[in-house]
């Protein structure tokens, strides 16, 4: 989902074709330290925060909330011996 690179080799090693999704919202990080510490680096950080870290944190917290729900008490059946 990034806007750079060669694409993803879904069918490797059977095919050398590379694929991109039609929608690529994540900004590619610059390689150099100088590029990363400037405006472009800030854009990358906001992009990753919004598209990766925030949804990941929400899924994690939802998993914790579902896991910590108290179990229901078993329903006792009457008249069984």
Per-10-residue mean pLDDT for the chain, 81 residues long?
84 92 85 84 90 95 86 65 55
**Residue appearing with tokens 């690179």:** 5
Predicted local distance difference test score (pLDDT) of residue 56: 96
Q: pTM for the whole thing? A: 0.61
CA distance between the termini of the chain: 61
DSSP secondary structure, 30-72, as one string = PSSHHHHTSHHHHHHHHHHIIIIIHHHHHHHHHHHHHHTSPPP
Residue 24 near residue 1, CB atoms below 8 Å: yes
């Amino acid at each position: 989902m990034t806007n750079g690179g060669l694409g993803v080799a879904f069918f490797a090693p059977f095919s050398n074709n590379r694929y991109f999704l039609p929608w690529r919202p994540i900004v590619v990080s610059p390689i150099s330290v100088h590029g990363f510490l400037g405006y472009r680096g800030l854009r990358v950080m906001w992009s990753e925060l919004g598209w990766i870290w925030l949804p990941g944190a929400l899924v994690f917290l939802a998993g914790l909330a579902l896991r910590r729900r108290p179990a229901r008490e078993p329903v006792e059946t009457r008249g069984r011996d």
